[in-house]
Structures are given as C-alpha cells and as structure tokens.
C-alpha cells in the first residue's frame, strides 16, 4: 500500500533524484526557520483572524484581517486541528516591554505569536513554495528538457527571497502567485474553464491576479474578434463563456461569507487599500522625502491617489496586453509570457506600495520568460538581493526574531528592542536613504525588463561588468 | 480533464471549510442573577464551559440611569492637530467599534457625522457622542457641546483637546493631560473598574491627571500610573445631567496597546454595560472557566435601591462570552 502511494506521488514530488534532494534541503531550511521568526506587525492580523474564527466571530470579527477571505480559509484547518489538542490561547502573547519600540517605529505590535502559530501559519506557504517549484520544473521540462528544468527549479526553490517571504516573514504571496502561474499556463493550453477558476481563486487570496484576468480577457476578445470575422458564429463565445464560468465557480469557495454578510467586501476593499506610497516602485523616493520632514507622499482620504493609481494600472494593463498579444514577432507562447510578465511589472511599478514580498508574483513568469530571454535571469537575481535587503532594512533584521527571543530569552526581547530603536532613531536618515536607494534600484531593474536590449541600462551595465571581469581575470 | 476534477474538488473542500468559519456568535449559557434580601444582595453567575480554560470576569455596580442610545462619532478630516487622533485611526475606531458591538450582541449602531452636522446634533436631545479630535476653532460649538452635556448628553472624549469645555477652552472643567510613559507597564496600580473590566487600552501617549478627576468628583476607571504624578487612561466625570467619559489618547500606534482595536474593545463593553452612569464602585470576581463552566456567587459590598448593571465577559481572544443585564429594584 505504502509503495503504491509512493508510486503515485513519486512523479510529482520526486520527478528526478536531484529535485528530490534539493526539495528536502529547501523544506528542511524552511521548517527550521518558520517557528522562530515572524514580523509581529504582519503576524497580528493573521492571529486575529484565527482567534476570531475560533471565538465564533469569524476572520473579520476583530477587524484586523483585511485580505480577501481565502487565506484565512486555507490556514484554518491546521489551527482548528491544533485547537483540538492544545489551548489556542497560547498562540500569542502581549509583551509590555515592546510598547515603546512599537510606538516609536510604528512598524511593530507588542504582541508576539508563538512558535506553534508561526509554524501552522507558514506550513501552507512552504507547501506553496514547493508547488510552484514543482510546477516550474514540469513546465520547463516539457518545454526545454530536464537539465534546464532542474536549474529552473533550484533558482526558485533555493532563492533566498522566496525562502524569506514564506518561511521567515510569513507572507502568503506565494499562494496567489501559484494560482496565477497555473491560471496562465492552462490559459495557454486553452483550458479556459480551469484558468478562470484558478485565477478566481487567486483573486480571493490577494487582489493582484485581477490584472492577469484583464490580460486574459483582452486575449479572449482578440480571439473572439478573429473567429467572428472568420464567420464561426456563436461558438466564438465559448472560450469567453468558459473563462467567466470558471471565475464564477471560484466564488463558491467563499459562498458562506457572501451569504452571511457582504460587509467584509467593503472592509477588504477600503482597509486593504494603501494611503501611503513607497517601496520598489515609481514612488521609491518617498522614504527620503519623509526623512527630510515633509511627511512623505501620501494619498489620504481627500485625494484618492490609490484609486487613481489602480485605474492607471488597469488602463496600462489593457494597453500592454493589446499591444503585446498582437505583436507580429515572437511566437505565441513568448508573447503571452511577455504580456504576463509586463502586466505584473506595470502593477508593481504603479501601485502605491510595493513591498519585497510582491516580487514573488513576478518570479515564476520571469523565470519562464528567461528560457526565451536569458538576460532575465540576471534581473531575477538582482531583484532577489534587492528585495531581501529592502525587507531587512524596512524592519531591521532584528524584528524577525521576537518569537525566538520570547521563547528562549536569547537574544532577549529587551536587546531586540534596543537594537531596533537604535536602527530607527539613531540611523533614521540613513535607513530612509537606504530604503530609497534600494527602492530605486528595484524600480529601475523592474522597468528595464520591459525595455528592448539596446535601451536597457541594466543589461548594458551587466555587459560592461562581464567585460571588465574577463579583462581582469 | 483530471486537473479540472482536482480543481472542482479543491473548490468543494474550500467551500466546506468556509462554511465552518462564518460568524456563529460566542458561547451560550451565561446566566447572571441578582438576589436582594433586605440590605444584602448576592450576584449569582454561571459561565459556559469550554474544552480550553479561559479567563472571565463577572461584575455588578449601581447606576443612576440607563439609556440605549446609538453611538454617534465625529469624523472630521479638517480637525486634526497634534492632540487629535488621525482621521485614519478615527475611521478605524468606527469600524472596530461597530464590529465589537456586534460581537457582544449589542443592538447599538455607530453613526458617523461630520463637523457641519454637530450643531444640529447638539440641538436634537440626548445621545452618546464620541469625539477624538478638537473643536478648538469653533467657540460657539464648544458652548453648545457643554450645554448638551449639562442637559444630559454623554460625551466620550478621546485624547487631549477633545473635551470642548475644559478650563483651557474657557469652560469650567479643570482637567489636564500629561505625557504617559508606559515603561513596560511598571509601577501601575489597578482600580476596581480596571480589574473588573480588564481594559485593553493600556498605553495611550497622554494620560489624565488623577487629581483633576477626583477634584471634579469623578471616578477613575482605568489603572493608575505612578509617574511622579498619578495618571490614568480612563475616567468618568458626572457633568450636570450628563457625563463625560474621558479617555487618554490620541488613538495612535501600536495595536494592542493604544490603537483603535483596544479603544473599541473597551468602549463597546463600557457603553453596553452603562458604566457612564455608574454611581458606585463595582463588585466583581475574576475566574478561570474550565470545561465544566464556572458557577458561583459574590456578595455585593454595598446595597441600595438603585438599578444594578450586571455583566459577565471573557477576557481572552479565542472565546466570546458576553452577557449584560439591568436589574431594577
């Protein structure tokens, strides 16, 4: 029986011995890091969703979880299982000594989640990392052969930013990224019902796959027009109808929420919207402007900057999709991958705040695009390093170790508080400057992906660097 | 086709999990009863059990009157100064308070008004108004606010500047704030109300001078921080026919200590239990409720013919127990 199960799982989990080996190493690293690390500010809404659901008020009962409901749904079974054996009241603790540092930095909450909670929360994310890696492997193997597929798998699964986002930071971006990857791949295979369903599920995790749905709708519209001109009649509507039906089917996953109250939708759309600007995008100068005492760029309630940027992002998405899908050069697959990558870059560059974890949305399509355009690989590496440094500079690396400190007392919570205070207060301008520089580098590298090689400054720099190294080797 | 089948199975699985996650309300079975016998009175309570132990409190106190006002809150984008809460935090409090009232089964609604609607609000009779920002710029409105409270209104003011009729504003209420150094929660004394309710707003950046509260014949509701002078996070000041429920402030980071989540938790319970009309100290008991529930009784310290407010509640995050009852003589 056990052999039979393994026979079924082997092609999925161990498509090659080297993949299995690094899969186990990658999983071990992640599961070792997961319990002892978390960002208190980001873990608190997830804790509140879990605690609220256990208490009977639902994930939105404490009004702190402001994402669409599906991540709370995915993470709930493990929390429920834990609560059958252990007291969920021990999943987090208020830490009075963190109040001052939390107030000063504005980026902490004096509440530390327990190692058990961190592990329960991050397990679906770690499995998400694995699923994306294995899907990349299978896809690349069918396109380019096993050797390149192994390399692509390793680039994803051992990528330090990917490990950091899921296993240390505990952000679930990999789950919608997986849905986006599956949705786009099956769309290329013309399996529109499945594509609509999976992309819809992605939107119910995080909003960003909406932009990919726009790309798919543009693609379907072009097909519809082409086939209508060929006189194919009503059958031309079938792909669009299947795609929309798939999207409708995905809503079934949250049907109980929709039927019980729709107020969470208003809450998710309003509270989930940023009113500040910055990060690895066009607004990268915001931290340094804030440091100069002007308060940074903000889009408050008076001026709906976030809404305007959303409209701009959607308009550019439709335009880019239309132009790239009708591109005469390149094959259909390359053009679609290009459009997929460009759409995510447009979103990353124009949205109000682009945190490092959002780069996870881009990496799978960028990795696949690198099969046709190898220069993309260097950009993925640069973005990984920049994203990792940005994540550490934003919170100070110390902020990730509160669960370890709270559990073992080494380092002590007080030592972490002091270190973070020094980082924020003593080195405030330096920190803001570093954030702006890293944000600027990230934005330039992101923008360079969309430029032709002859206009690409990153490509040019890398070429010069390679030449310099060759001369001095 | 196999992938499509897997997708449908995944959707059905998620649908099943979702159906177990919609709000169902908290634990049922809380019972509170006040038995009076001449000059003695005993509060009998029964709290529902759960497989995991949870902390809870049961409390009774006399009140002067009770009303079931909806809660009106000023949302004023233009009224921001250094002492006011940021509009984003005020909006946060509106969201949290509405949700917390719903969680504890209250039928009170949270209504939002802007600065221009205040004058007509003050002329429309009693009610409960939450101010988290200053009305400094409008002396006429400040006078209207004072007259409204004197006539029976309940003003909930959060942070320095949100009481429009302090002596600084030319009014009669001598009430001052001072910067509150939380200092990891050291050197703090509890008060009967803070123990009974387990307030969560523990670290507003400014606290109220306890001396001023007592001089104004008020009741200190929050814990007392000994910081050279005594400061508190919450107090009740009777004012004419009405009252001012004063909270330290402004609403500001971080969550769990001084932000909208904890202000809302405290205000929802405080308003629902009619603390604003308390005329005596509470009698309370704090218990750890196990799987068999908790049953017991507590004798009230002093008894008169007042109406009594009784409340039983959980104090943790992973349970929801709340019952409030009014007992008239």
Look at residue A272 in the predicted model and tell me its pLDDT: 59
Interchain pair A60, B99: CB under 8 A: yes
Look at residue B8 in the predicted model and tell me its pLDDT: 94
Q: Which of B12, B88, B320 sits opposite A275 (nearest CB)?
A: B88
Q: Give per-residue pLDDT as tens, B203-221.
A: 999 999 999 999 999 999 9
Name the CATH superfamily, with its identifier, for domain B31-63+280-327: Immunoglobulins (2.60.40.10)
Q: Give per-residue pLDDT as tens, B306-329.
A: 899 999 999 999 999 999 999 987
Look at residue B37 in the predicted model and tell me its pLDDT: 81
Distances (CA, A) of A267 to A45, A84, A326, B237: 14, 31, 38, 35
Distances (CA, A) of A49 to A56, A72, B12, B322: 11, 7, 22, 20
Residue numbers in B near A89 (CB within 8 A): 52-54, 316-318
Which of B318, B319, B320, B322 best tests the A interface by mutation, with the highest count of A CBs <10 A?
B318
Interchain pair A77, B103: CB under 8 A: no
Interchain pair A74, B77: CB under 8 A: no
Interchain pair B320, A53: CB under 8 A: no
Look at residue A294 in the predicted model and tell me its pLDDT: 56
Interchain pair B257, A51: CB under 8 A: no
Q: Give per-residue pLDDT as tens, A143-152.
A: 999 999 999 9
The string of DSSP letters for A52-106 reads HHHHTS-TTTTS---S-THHHHHHHHHHHHHHHHS-GGGSEEE-GGGHHHHHHHS
**Closest approach of B180 to chain A, Cα-based (Å):** 11
Residue of chain B whose Cα is closest to the Cα of A50: B318
Q: Give per-residue pLDDT as tens, B236-261.
A: 999 999 999 999 999 999 999 999 99
Mean pLDDT over B285-301 rounds to 95
The span from the CA of B257 to the CA of A110, in Å, is 8
Comparing C-alpha atoms, which of B112, B123, B110 is closest to residue B74? B112
Q: Which of B18, B184, B254 sits opposite A255 (nearest CB)?
A: B18
Interchain pair B261, A64: CB under 8 A: yes
Interchain pair B252, A103: CB under 8 A: yes
Tally of CB atoms within 10 A around A461: 14
Interchain pair A254, B18: CB under 8 A: yes
DSSP state of A196: H
ipTM: 0.94
**Closest approach of A472 to chain B, Cα-based (Å):** 53
**Taking all residues of chain B, what is their mean pLDDT, rounded to a whole number?**
93
Query: Domain-by-domain residue ranges, chain B?
Result: 31-63+280-327, 71-273
Mean pLDDT over B103-108 rounds to 95
The string of DSSP letters for A322-384 reads HHHHT-SSS-HHHHHHHHHHHHHHHHHHHSSEE-GGGHHHHHHHHHHHTTT-THHHHHHHHHH
Interchain pair B17, A77: CB under 8 A: yes
Which of B4, B76, B256, B265 best tests the A interface by mutation, with the highest count of A CBs <10 A?
B256
Residue numbers in A near B317 (CB within 8 A): 47-48, 51-52, 55, 62, 89, 92
* Statement: residue B13 has pLDDT above 80: yes
Residues in chain A with pLDDT values less than 70: 1-2, 262, 271-275, 293-303
**Closest approach of A468 to chain B, Cα-based (Å):** 50
Residue of chain A whose Cα is closest to the Cα of B262: A62
Look at residue A8 in the predicted model and tell me its pLDDT: 79
The span from the CA of A378 to the CA of A380, in Å, is 5
Residue numbers in B near A178 (CB within 8 A): none
Residue numbers in A near B14 (CB within 8 A): 70, 73-74, 201, 253-254
Interchain pair A58, B25: CB under 8 A: no
Residue of chain B whose Cα is closest to the Cα of A248: B11
**Closest approach of A230 to chain B, Cα-based (Å):** 29
Comparing C-alpha atoms, which of A248, A290, A19 is closest to residue A130? A19
The span from the CA of A80 to the CA of A55, in Å, is 11
Residue numbers in A near B53 (CB within 8 A): 87, 89
**Closest approach of A324 to chain B, Cα-based (Å):** 29
Interchain pair A197, B319: CB under 8 A: no
Mean pLDDT over B122-134 rounds to 94
Give yes or no for a contact between A114 and A92, defined as CB atoms under 8 angstroms apart: yes
Interchain pair B184, A60: CB under 8 A: no
Interchain pair A103, B103: CB under 8 A: no
* Statement: residue B196 has pLDDT above 70: yes
Pairing of strands B322-327, A92-94: unpaired
Interchain pair B4, A191: CB under 8 A: yes
**Closest approach of B319 to chain A, Cα-based (Å):** 4
Tally of CB atoms within 10 A around B51: 9
What percentage of chain B has pLDDT greater than the value 70?
A: 98
Q: Which of B7, B25, B203 sits opposite A99 (nearest CB)?
A: B203
Interchain pair B184, A97: CB under 8 A: yes
**Closest approach of B13 to chain A, Cα-based (Å):** 8
CATH 3.40.50.880 fits B71-273, yes or no: yes
The span from the CA of A26 to the CA of A34, in Å, is 12
Look at residue A302 in the predicted model and tell me its pLDDT: 47
DSSP state of B123: T
| Residues ≥6 apart with Cβ < 8 Å to B28 | B48
The string of DSSP letters for B174-241 reads ---EEE---GGG-SEE--HHHHHHT-S----SEEEEHHHHHHTT-EE-S-EEEESEEEESEEEEEETT
**Closest approach of B160 to chain A, Cα-based (Å):** 18
Look at residue B186 in the predicted model and tell me its pLDDT: 96
Residue numbers in A near B320 (CB within 8 A): 55-57
Residue of chain A whose Cα is closest to the Cα of B19: A256
Which of B254, B264, B290 best tests the A interface by mutation, with the highest count of A CBs <10 A?
B254
Residue of chain A whose Cα is closest to the Cα of B316: A89
Q: Which of B11, B18, B92 sits opposite A256 (nearest CB)?
A: B18
Comparing C-alpha atoms, which of B255, B36, B321 is closest to residue A48? B255
């Amino acid at each position: 029986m056990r052999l039979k199960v393994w026979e079924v799982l082997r092609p999925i989990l161990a498509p090659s011995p080297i993949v299995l080996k690094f899969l186990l190493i990658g999983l071990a690293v992640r599961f070792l890091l997961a319990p002892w690390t978390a960002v208190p500010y980001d873990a608190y809404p997830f804790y509140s969703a879990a605690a609220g659901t256990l208490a009977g008020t639902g994930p939105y009962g404490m009004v702190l979880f402001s994402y669409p409901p599906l991540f709370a749904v995915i993470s709930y079974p493990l929390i429920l299982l834990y609560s059958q054996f252990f007291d969920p009241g021990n999943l987090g603790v208020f830490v009075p000594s963190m109040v001052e540092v939390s107030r000063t930095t504005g980026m902490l909450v004096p509440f530390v989640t327990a190692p058990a909670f961190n592990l329960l929360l991050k397990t679906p994310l770690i499995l998400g990392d694995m699923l994306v890696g294995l899907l990349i492997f299978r896809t690349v193997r069918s396109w380019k052969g096993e050797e390149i597929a192994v390399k692509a798998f390793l680039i994803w699964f051992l990528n330090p930013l990917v490990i950091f986002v899921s296993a240390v930071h505990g952000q679930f971006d990999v789950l919608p990224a997986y849905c986006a990857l599956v949705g786009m791949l099956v769309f290329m295979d013309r399996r529109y019902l499945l594509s609509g369903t999976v992309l819809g599920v992605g939107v119910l995790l995080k909003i960003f796959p909406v932009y990919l749905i726009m790309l798919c709708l543009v693609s379907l519209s072009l097909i519809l027009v082409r086939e209508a001109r060929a006189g194919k009649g009503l059958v031309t509507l079938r792909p669009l109808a299947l795609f929309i039906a798939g999207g409708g089917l995905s809503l079934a996953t949250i049907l109980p929420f929709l039927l019980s109250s729709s107020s969470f939708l208003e809450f998710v759309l309003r509270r989930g919207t940023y009113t500040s600007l910055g990060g690895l995008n066009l607004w990268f100068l915001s931290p340094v402007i804030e440091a100069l005492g002007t308060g940074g760029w903000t889009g408050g309630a008076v001026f709906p900057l976030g809404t305007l940027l959303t409209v701009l992002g959607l308009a550019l998405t439709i335009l880019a999709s239309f132009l790239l899908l009708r591109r005469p050069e390149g094959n259909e697959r390359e053009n679609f991958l290009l459009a997929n990558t460009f759409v995510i870059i447009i979103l990353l560059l124009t949205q109000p705040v682009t945190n490092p974890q959002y780069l996870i949305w881009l990496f799978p399509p960028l990795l696949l695009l690198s099969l046709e355009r190898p220069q993309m690989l260097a950009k993925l590496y640069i973005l990984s390093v920049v994203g990792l440094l940005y994540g550490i500079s934003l919170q100070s690396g110390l902020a990730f170790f509160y669960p370890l400190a709270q559990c073992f007392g080494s380092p002590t919570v007080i030592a972490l508080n002091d270190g973070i205070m020094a980082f924020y207060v003593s080195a405030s301008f330096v920190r803001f400057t570093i954030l702006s520089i890293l944000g600027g580098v990230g934005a330039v590298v992101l923008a360079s992906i969309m430029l032709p090689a002859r206009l690409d400054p990153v490509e040019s720099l890398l070429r010069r660097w390679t030449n310099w190294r060759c001369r001095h080797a | 086709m196999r992938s499509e089948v897997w997708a449908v199975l995944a959707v059905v699985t998620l649908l099943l999990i979702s159906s177990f996650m919609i709000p169902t309300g908290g634990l049922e079975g809380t019972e509170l009863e006040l038995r009076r016998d001449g000059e003695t009175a005993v509060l009998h309570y029964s709290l529902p059990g759960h497989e995991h132990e949870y902390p809870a409190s049961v409390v009774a106190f006399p009140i002067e009157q009770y009303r079931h006002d909806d809660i009106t809150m000023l949302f004023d984008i233009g009224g921001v100064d250094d002492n006011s809460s940021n509009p984003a935090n005020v909006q946060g409090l509106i969201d949290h308070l509405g949700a917390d009232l719903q969680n504890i089964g209250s039928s009170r609604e949270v209504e939002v008004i802007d600065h221009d609607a205040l004058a007509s609000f003050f002329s429309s009779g009693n009610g409960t108004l939450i101010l988290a920002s200053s009305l400094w710029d409008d002396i006429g409105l400040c006078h209207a606010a004072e007259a409204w409270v004197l006539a029976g209104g309940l003003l909930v003011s959060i942070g320095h500047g949100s009481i429009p009729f302090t002596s600084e504003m030319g009014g009669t209420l001598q009430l001052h704030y001072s910067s509150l150094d939380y200092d990891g929660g050291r050197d703090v004394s509890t008060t009967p109300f803070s123990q009974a309710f387990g307030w969560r707003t523990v670290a507003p950046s400014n606290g109220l001078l306890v001396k001023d509260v007592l001089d104004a014949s008020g009741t200190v509701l929050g814990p007392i921080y000994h910081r050279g002078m005594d400061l508190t996070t919450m107090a009740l000041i009777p004012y004419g026919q009405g009252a001012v429920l004063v909270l330290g402030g402004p609403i500001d980071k971080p969550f769990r200590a001084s932000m909208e989540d904890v202000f809302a938790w405290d205000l929802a319970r405080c308003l629902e239990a009619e603390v604003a009309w308390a005329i005596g100290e509470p009698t309370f008991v704090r218990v750890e409720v196990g799987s068999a529930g908790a049953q017991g009784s507590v004798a009230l310290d002093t008894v008169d013919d007042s109406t009594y407010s009784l409340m039983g509640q959980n104090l943790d995050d992973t349970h929801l127990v709340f019952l409030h009852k009014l007992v008239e003589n």
